Structure 1
Amino acid sequence: MKKILVIEDEELVRNNILEILDTVDFRVIGACNGGIGVQLAEEHLPDLILCDVMMPELDGYGVLAALRNNPVTATIPFIFLTAKGDKTEIRQGMNLGADDYLTKPFRRKELLGAIEARLIKHDALYQGYAREQSRAVPPVPTVQPERSDSIYYDNLTNLPNQLLVREQFESLRDRTAQEGRCILILCIGLDRFKRINQTLGHDFGDRLLKEVAQRLSQLVRPGDILARLHTDQFAIVLAWGSDKGDRPTLSDPRDSFSSNPIPEAIAQPILDRLTQPFCLENREIFITASIGMSIYPQNGEDLDQLMKNAGVAMSYAKQLGGNQSQSYTPTLQSESLDDLTLETSLRYALERQELQLYYQPIVGLQNGRIVGAEALVRWHHPQQGMISPVKFIPLAEQTGLIAPIGEWVLQTACNQTKSWQSEGLPPVRVAVNLSFRQFNQVDLSERLVRILAQSGLDPSYLELELTESILVQNVELTIAKLNELKSMGVQISLDDFGTGYSSLSYLQQFPFDLLKIDRCFVQDINTNATNAALTNAIIQMAHSLNLKVIAEGVETPEELAVLYENKCDNIQGYLFSRPVKAEEFKRMLKEGKRLERQPQSLPHLTE
């Protein structure tokens, strides 16, 4: 009995599909969101997956990318369910490796017909693979354009695909066993390739992938296996070690990188070659790659395990910033499992009410009173206790969970601020950070209008903080979106100024209200002449553009004294208060906690 996984967030649609499939003797599994869908796919290995495109948290594209990145689930037939079905959407899914699309609403006959066609094709592929595997297969050249239409070759690059890699691996394993050599697996992933597709289009991205394939093919020798796994990932499989069975030494005269004594020495020429510029359509493009490596038989007995371990090492290399290689170790696997466990917990953190908002006061230097607060999310895990935002925020960004978490932060912060006002406390402005994913939501304004309406908070008491990296993706679109937000009455601030792209033209192009000076400029401002000069220049420039200035990370009276002298508007930092729970911040407002200056020009705190 064939097993089918249905990933659909609309309960009525999901149940209808499950009921139809159940009547024709399919074994069916349902998932209510993308994150659970990925977990169920890896656990149950279904024969086919039906997946909705538009879902909260992790959408269909994210589900497909995650499954294609896992060698165990990479070849499962995948059909998208969508209410749109426009060409751009279909192309995006096909580039990720989707097998088919069904446009909602679809009839029972259409659904069953699409499923049957995919299953028949998939079975035919593996029957052909089984027949070929029983034969002795001689080594084949890495790139064979004349067979690009074969089921063993990638249609875009003409490189072997995973089916042919499996086939050749068996032959290579037998040969290296006789020679007493090892096999090295290199999993090569292009860094931030998705950004190229988003900025320059998928056609340009396809041409770039062809060029990458060509460069990689120039680095391998006959007998080495080069393949495209999916999207922006490639693999190289090669015999490693000398023909006599011992590993080659540094003085080995052979010129093949497959003769190098350590995996890192094999990977470095690949990294160097890929960092050289690509010239396409009169445009110069620079890319980098991350490489993960595993060794047979030390890191696995079969290709699936070796590919998985190489993928774990590649992911770790990406986490370290990319443009580097990492060899697999069991420690990396443990860290990867820890991250997966933490990701699973994070997916339920919202509904289990494990997230909390802390508020760090923002103080006006003119009168020393609290004028606002920055809302900062904290996670109290039921078993692990408080988990640092440094650990879970990047994980939320990678998985797409940052969008629902960010919306919860907005709603909670607005509700809390309105609640303080309703109790008669001095009105203050609340600042909320917007992530890249949030800012680029097509319905951001509508979401914000709904949140403000539900909370009853006047928009002038809400400040949205954006970083420079968010703003430079598409300047014209960003300006239009910022103006739309400004028209609602909210305040816009530029966070961490000077740590990103640092183009002063942004201050003129974008409709900011406030500018936040990063802690790195404020630190030791009283003794560091460079920091003092830069901070003073930023404050003066901001004031000339009618922008208010907030200095972040103020920790000492001496730093504060310099900011007073430079006429900074507001400060935020441990000198006045760490981030505190809502109850503690309410107490500060109620008791009128202030920052006072002494005649000696040094501040002190009063209640």
Structure 2
Amino acid sequence: MTNKLLIVDDEVAILRALSRLLTRAGYQVFKANSGEEALSIMQQQVCQVVISDFRMPTMNGAELLAAIKAQYPETMCMILSGYTDFNSVVALINSGTAFRFLQKPWDEQTLFTEVKEAFSTFHSRAHQQQVNLLMSNTAEALVELHPNGQLGRVNGVAKQLFDFTQNHILLSDMFPYCTDNGVSALFEDDLHTITMQNRQGKNVELHFKLATDNSRFFELHFVNKNDDAVSNRKPLAAFLDKNELLSSVDGLIKSNTHFAMIAIHLKNYSYWTDMMGLPESTALFDEITSTMLSQSKQFNASLSFLSDEHFVLLLDNYKSELDLHKQLTDFIEPFNTSKFSDKSVHVEFVITYCIAHEDGDNAQQLLNNVLMSNRLYRSSHTHFFMRYDAAMIEQKRNQLLISKALFHAVENDELFLHYQPKFDLNKGKICSCEVLLRWNHPELGNVSPGVFIPIAEQEGQIIELGYWVIESACKAISSWTQKGIHLDKVAINVSGKQLSQVDFIPRVEALLSGFDIDMTKLEFELTESWLVDNLEESAEKLTRLKNSGISIAMDDFGTGYSSLSYLSKLPIDVLKIDRSLITDIVHNVNTQSMVGSVTRMAHDLGMQVVVEGVEQIDQIKLLEKLKCDVIQGFIIARPQAEDHFTALISNADVSIASVMGKI
């Protein structure tokens, strides 16, 4: 098989240099200077390995590799980019989308080594997939033997003949005359014949044919000539490969057949491997595939095994969508029997489906849609059969568009800050504020932080965005100080992902060293749930920040653990009570009692209490009575641009009376 390699980079010079190097190394190299061109090439020449730049216009490396993995899951994808992009690539590596991160400028020997390893891994996985299919599909007895003579997997036909066990059986147990030269010494000729007893005590003449693999193991095909029960055995319905699957779908479409394409993902196989070990989990996988093949034959359906425990089923004999659900329930029913439920693990599937022609009018589109929807529902706890939802996919595409644009938001100068005032009930005036990130994209317009912040958290851009916010807030504080505007505190939201970075503390210290500002004016807000989930790490890093003078606030108190016992273990200065805890405080005595108790205990721990989401005068009066320290909400002021905010806090008349006078 020719080793095909696709290089993707928007810099022509890099494409040429890499192409020269890797062509000399013996690879067939294809070049693309954009993600779109790369996908077009993959449709014509499916490459085993793809090396892509990370920062590219229109479609970045993350989006390209995600698209390639969706259509060609076997392909080994690598990122070649500057080291500054490493943190953004970590999620791709952890998810399995990217095989390796290669740094620019590259070291030739390292590049050759990593590319060679990528191809080796591809061929190893492809070989293992072929073995899985062979073990599941063949009507012959089949045993896997390793070069050291240890017995590997045994398929169902061989189990019917002999009492093989899966653990610690050597070739010498089967063939006492096996020499020290190993398995190959036994089979000097192409064919070898031996007579053995089967489990019923019958003498069985077996013909062994050795198929050697140059790197991993030996396979022995047991061809029984005497046992009618095996010689008359009908072959199991074969798995379709991807090309055969697409061809079958094309045929159904051309014949105008109404059919469903169902994606079945074996959800927890990797967990089994970790828990049970490879031999046991592989044996269980073989049982599952045999059962699925048997079921597909019973339902007169076509079944394909793609990769990564993905199966695709074609059903065309259902009367309605409700009937389709019933058939799918019946299809997986064998996996609820004691044969599988008595195992040490539970067999769990993620099942989604598309219906032709409503959910796609060609084979590749249907396959892409059903696999994409399967991935989207993989983390869901639902046990229903979920149909492809075009609206949901469109939402995901919009998220990808936003995610892509976020990578360039800082360099394109699209970000800006708003400031929301905080009112000090003890001093009777505005003394502090919270810094809030805003984003205006030239095409998307003003994107709500409720939309882009969760995406940035998930995709990793929040780390660099967070540093931009800290730096921009420090610039604002420095400017205000020069103008004679002084605040007690300026609160900045810090993501848990940002805090968890190994270099967070030194980066913050280096960033802050460039500003001549009083560190005690800064307050870092972190969510309660993240702090408590990472208690030891949080305590260590927050203590270092606090020692530099920065105050620490626990944000969204009341939406997570809401346990003050954790507060004594963390260097918290400010407790922010979430808006959800005070929505009914005016009319609910229990809420009043709870907020009062939290406030008293927080004060006993030396903390200040801030209440956010305050919208009513009556709420202000109650919170003042309950001894809360600071309030924040639209009744005080909405988040606003810097010039409006500085004008507001420069007004000496901004007091509790003037705030109440607004109503």
Q: TM-score, normalised by structure 1?
A: 0.71
- Give the counterpart letter for 1:50 in structure 2: I
CA shift in 2, pair 1:7/1:397, >3 Å:
farther
Tell me the CA shift for residue 513 of structure 1: 0.5
Q: CA RMSD in A?
A: 5.6
- Give the counterpart letter for 1:185 in structure 2: I
Mark the structure with the bigger radius of gyration.
2
Match of 1:418 among 463, 473, 478: 478
SS in 2 for 1:592: coil
Kindly report which structure 2 residues correspond to 1:203-218, keeping only aligned pairs within 5 A, or say none.
203=274
Match of 1:340 among 384, 387, 400: 400
C-alpha separation in 1, matches of 2:645 and 2:284: 54
C-alpha separation in 2, matches of 1:445 and 1:509: 20
Match of 1:583 among 629, 632, 643: 643
Kindly report which structure 2 residues correspond to 1:60-75, keeping only aligned pairs within 5 A, or say none.
66=66, 69-71=69-71, 73-75=72-74
C-alpha separation in 2, matches of 1:462 and 1:270: 58
Alignment partner of 1:257 is 2:259: no
Match of 2:625 among 565, 569, 592: 565
Kindly report which structure 2 residues correspond to 1:319-338, keeping only aligned pairs within 5 A, or say none.
326-338=386-398
- Give the counterpart letter for 1:308 in structure 2: N
Tell me the CA shift for residue 587 of structure 1: 0.8
CA shift in 2, pair 1:455/1:180, >3 Å:
same
Q: Which shows bigger deviation, 466-475 or 589-598?
A: 589-598
SS in 2 for 1:353: coil
C-alpha separation in 1, matches of 2:555 and 2:537: 19
Alignment partner of 1:182 is 2:259: yes
C-alpha separation in 1, matches of 2:129 and 2:273: 31
Matched residue, 1:49 = 50
Alignment partner of 1:493 is 2:564: no
CA shift in 2, pair 1:177/1:311, >3 Å:
same
Among all aligned residue pairs of Structure 1 and Structure 2, give the percentage whose two residues are the same amino acid.
26
CA shift in 2, pair 1:129/1:102, >3 Å:
same
C-alpha separation in 1, matches of 2:513 and 2:347: 45
Contact in 1 for aligned 2:264/2:349 (Cα 8 Å): no
SS in 2 for 1:416: helix
Kindly report which structure 2 residues correspond to 1:430-469, keeping only aligned pairs within 5 A, or say none.
430-469=490-529
Q: Which shows bigger deviation, 399-408 or 210-219?
A: 210-219
C-alpha separation in 2, matches of 1:534 and 1:308: 52
After superposition, give the CA deviation of every residue in 1:552-593 in whole Å (9 maximum; x if it has no partner). Answer: 011110000000000001000011100011111111122235
- Give the counterpart letter for 2:111 in structure 1: L
SS in 2 for 1:456: coil
- Give the counterpart letter for 2:6 in structure 1: I
- Give the counterpart letter for 1:240 in structure 2: L
Match of 2:315 among 237, 240, 246: 240
Contact in 1 for aligned 2:32/2:38 (Cα 8 Å): no
SS in 2 for 1:348: coil
Matched residue, 1:361 = 421
In structure 1, list runs of 5 or more residues that go unmatched.
Answer: 31-35, 156-161, 261-265, 281-285
Contact in 1 for aligned 2:610/2:632 (Cα 8 Å): yes
CA shift in 2, pair 1:345/1:517, >3 Å:
same
C-alpha separation in 2, matches of 1:457 and 1:287: 59
Alignment partner of 1:505 is 2:565: yes
Contact in 2 for aligned 1:292/1:312 (Cα 8 Å): no
SS in 2 for 1:594: coil
Matched residue, 1:4 = 6
C-alpha separation in 1, matches of 2:82 and 2:272: 23
CA shift in 2, pair 1:177/1:22, >3 Å:
closer
Tell me the CA shift for residue 22 of structure 1: 8.1
Q: Which shows bigger deviation, 106-115 or 535-544?
A: 106-115
Contact in 1 for aligned 2:66/2:97 (Cα 8 Å): no
C-alpha separation in 2, matches of 1:150 and 1:340: 46
Tell me the CA shift for residue 417 of structure 1: 1.4
Kindly report which structure 2 residues correspond to 1:150-229, keeping only aligned pairs within 5 A, or say none.
164=241, 166-167=243-244, 170=247, 182-186=259-263, 188=265, 203=274, 220=292, 221-223=295-297, 225=303, 229=307
After superposition, give the CA deviation of every residue in 1:209-255 in whole Å (9 maximum; x if it has no partner). Answer: 9899699769953447485744xxx534224353xx634866x9x98
How many residue pairs were aligned? 547
C-alpha separation in 2, matches of 1:323 and 1:287: 12
- Give the counterpart letter for 2:319 in structure 1: D
SS in 2 for 1:527: coil
In structure 2, list runs of 5 or more residues that go unmatched.
Answer: 84-88, 144-152, 157-210, 218-238
C-alpha separation in 2, matches of 1:504 and 1:288: 39
Contact in 1 for aligned 2:65/2:98 (Cα 8 Å): no
Tell me the CA shift for residue 505 of structure 1: 2.0
Contact in 2 for aligned 1:291/1:313 (Cα 8 Å): no
Kindly report which structure 2 residues correspond to 1:265-280, keeping only aligned pairs within 5 A, or say none.
none
Contact in 2 for aligned 1:176/1:239 (Cα 8 Å): no
Matched residue, 2:366 = 306
Contact in 2 for aligned 1:463/1:491 (Cα 8 Å): yes
Alignment partner of 1:400 is 2:477: no
Matched residue, 2:173 = none
After superposition, give the CA deviation of every residue in 1:233-286 in whole Å (9 maximum; x if it has no partner). Answer: x534224353xx634866x9x9853569xxxxx9x9999x9xx99978xxxxx9
C-alpha separation in 2, matches of 1:211 and 1:493: 53
SS in 1 for 2:609: strand
SS in 1 for 2:70: coil
C-alpha separation in 2, matches of 1:138 and 1:94: 33
C-alpha separation in 1, matches of 2:10 and 2:123: 25
CA shift in 2, pair 1:380/1:529, >3 Å:
same
Contact in 2 for aligned 1:596/1:605 (Cα 8 Å): no
After superposition, give the CA deviation of every residue in 1:373-397 in whole Å (9 maximum; x if it has no partner). Answer: 1111111222343221111112222
SS in 2 for 1:525: coil
- Give the counterpart letter for 1:49 in structure 2: V
- Give the counterpart letter for 2:570 in structure 1: F
C-alpha separation in 1, matches of 2:631 and 2:326: 60
CA shift in 2, pair 1:222/1:106, >3 Å:
same
Tell me the CA shift for residue 432 of structure 1: 1.3
Kindly report which structure 2 residues correspond to 1:587-602, keeping only aligned pairs within 5 A, or say none.
587-597=647-657
CA shift in 2, pair 1:319/1:79, >3 Å:
closer
C-alpha separation in 2, matches of 1:3 and 1:228: 21
Tell me the CA shift for residue 415 of structure 1: 1.3
CA shift in 2, pair 1:75/1:481, >3 Å:
same
- Give the counterpart letter for 1:238 in structure 2: L
- Give the counterpart letter for 2:608 in structure 1: K
Matched residue, 1:283 = none
Tell me the CA shift for residue 464 of structure 1: 1.0
Contact in 2 for aligned 1:7/1:52 (Cα 8 Å): yes
C-alpha separation in 2, matches of 1:496 and 1:576: 19
C-alpha separation in 2, matches of 1:63 and 1:205: 35
Kindly report which structure 2 residues correspond to 1:347-386, keeping only aligned pairs within 5 A, or say none.
347-386=407-446
C-alpha separation in 1, matches of 2:551 and 2:418: 20
